[in-house]
Structure 1
Amino acid sequence: MAARAAHPGVFLLLAAVLLAVAVQPAAATLHPVDYLALQAVRRALSDLPGSGFFASWDFTGDPCGFAGVSCSGGGRVVTLALGDPRAGAPGLSGAFPCAALARLSALSSLSLVPGRVSGGLSSAVAALPSLRFLALSGNLISGNLPGAFSPALRTVDLSKNSFSGRIPSSLLQIRSLRTLVLSHNSLSGEIPKTVSSPLVHLDLRNNRLSGGVPPLPATVVYLSLAGNRLSGRVGGVLRRLTRLSFLDLGGNWFSGEVPGEVFSFRIGYLQLRKNAFSGELRPAGWLPSGSTVDLSHNALSGLVPAELASAAAVYLNGNKFAGAVPAEIVAAAEGGRMRVLFLQDNFLTGISVRGVPSSAAIYGRNIVRGTRVRWIWFVSMSAIAIYIEKLGAKKCWALCYVISNEMTTDLLLNGSNCYEVQLVLTPPYLL
């Protein structure tokens, strides 16, 4: 039987490779397939105005010396960092060159600075066998996420693009994956039920995800699911994340109690605002000094726990807290250790304040009775504003509000160290 004739395209590709090598002797250190792939990348992408990234991409020289290109000793491209990485530098434009990039079979790191690169991301690129680092944040890449990813991946950052559809379950089962950032896209559906990757950093905020939160690995240190449509109870999930230092679940539909164990973690940022959490707060410990806690706009009730006094900023506004504000919290606010304290829109009935604070605090719209308040300081529009200057070499001023309470005694005590007070009253509020 006669041998089959080779496809004409094979000869064309071979001829192109041989020609490239023949006329570009300086490029002989780079594998011919990679050489052609870089040429295709250059044709697909352009500098945005003000960017000079591609100025060094002169193919009369060795491409292994191009900006953003690193090669192995065997002449294969292993790192491709497209664009000027300096903060504020213009990025690139054009169509994401999947076909060309898929030919870089030894590629271990692929990054693209924020710009205006569009198109899709194919499995042929995402599943390159040696790929460990993939970062394409801040572009216009769209479509579904690939169905296959490299088993070697440790970091994936596809944030601030236009990806849609579901998160593929295969992505969360990569045994080497430590960092996954898919925030600021249009991803929908549920988070995959099985998360076996040993994730340390998981950021899925500002998408359209729905349903509950599956069990997450105890390795997670940073978790952000804010700005989605997630719901259900999260106590069981959070209790096992003892290494958390950053937690943001704000702007979802989570319900049930906030697990007290979370407050005993070494967590510096706890953001649960705008959910449907309810019940009393029962912290299992004191938060780290200097931390931020935002539990605003939920349905939390009971007493304000004194354990929050160690935080630097506390937002409890828009809940159903009742009773008196603990002396520990007042002392922290007065002394400046707690820089921000928001308590408005609750059912608090007692505030004991001894002097002019170094902090910003809100107590408006509670039911404080018979309390002599020297200062209440916060920053939102109100009907009664008190401008205060403090005596001494270092002058300061505060914008203070006390509306919608039921004040029955002096607003400011005699002998206060405030020497200038201006009241601005608007109906129907009267002093």
Structure 2
Amino acid sequence: MQAPHAADPDQSRGRLYPEDESTFRSPFQRDRDRIIHASAFRRLKHKTQVFIEHEGDYFRTRLTHSIEVAQVARTIAGTLGLNTDLTEAVALAHDLGHPPFGHTGEEALQALMAGYGGFDHNAQAIRIVTSLERHYAGFDGLNLTWETLEGIAKHNGPVAHPRPYALAEYDARHDLELDTHAGAEAQVAAIADDVAYNSHDLHDGLRAELFSTDELAELPLLGGCFARVDRLYPGLNYYRRRHEALRRFFGLLVEDVIAEARLRLAALDPRTPRDVRLAGHPIIRFSDPVFADLKVIRDFLFHRMYRAPEVVEMRAKVTQVIEDLFPLFMERTDLLPKQWRKDVDEVADETALARIVLDYIAGMTDRFAIQSHRELIGGTLAEAI
């Protein structure tokens, strides 16, 4: 049964460009399907989560991460009586704006765009789904519903000023109410992101041998998971033991979110989706004790994984790739593909040009960025990645 504060597709605020609705899909189902079929979604297959995409076949990429987030989000939303289709759409789209090389690429582009309006991957996701996907005859972008766009833009909370230009530009045309929290479905997508990466980064770190199972068993929350597995399956094979412990950790996080959300929803007693948006604080979140324990785990991951010497070394190399490509395309717009040069012909100033170059580089996959560096700049850097 759907909760009164759940998004109702029949009450959607609609699309920027009116369309006839599907006879067999709700507006939110249609949004989800358009996201799945988008070029930007396919490119996530070759974009970094933590490790560069080609470093191992078993490490997560942005695509596999997004699929895992959508699965968690759909489970939580269904349990809480929310709209699962809207939740899934936001979850699948939440990382569309990530550039090559994950957060490392984002930091490099933020520095390069400092004088041109900045860069933010959530804002870039909005730009992708409202402008850069150019396949439909009647409009640029995917023409998603207001609710899906709102969720992509502010699933992490209200957007503070000054806002990234890509988001501010679209918001001026189609008010996404950026000063409020998102609806419950988008909040579920955001917390599902936290659940997924906190779990799978531990798994990927183990596979990369950046830390040991014994070290994980000493961390809060995880210690209890390993202890339970050892009680139930004494002498279990090393790989099965860690998998059983990590899946229990995963389940613990999901159960905590659901329990905490039920408490907060009961206290708020929202009667409409807008009540959730205007609550003034997130409704879907971890309990305080689990959040505190997760901070310890995140600190562990930061020092032992995200800043491991081999990861830092690779971060420096891929940062250089971005730092080399950006000024090259600013100087040599003739090196851009034909369809991008058409946009260059219409630019009014250097800022507009920088935004076109940003859009092009941010859309690259890891492997295409490395290939472009090898072909256009040469040297040994690309070969060393």
Mark yes or no: TM-score above 0.5: no
Higher RCO (C-alpha under 8 Å, 6+ residues apart): 2
Q: Max radius of gyration: which structure?
A: 1
Q: Return the TM-score normalized by structure 2.
A: 0.18
Greater fraction of residues in helix: 2
Greater fraction of residues in strand: 1
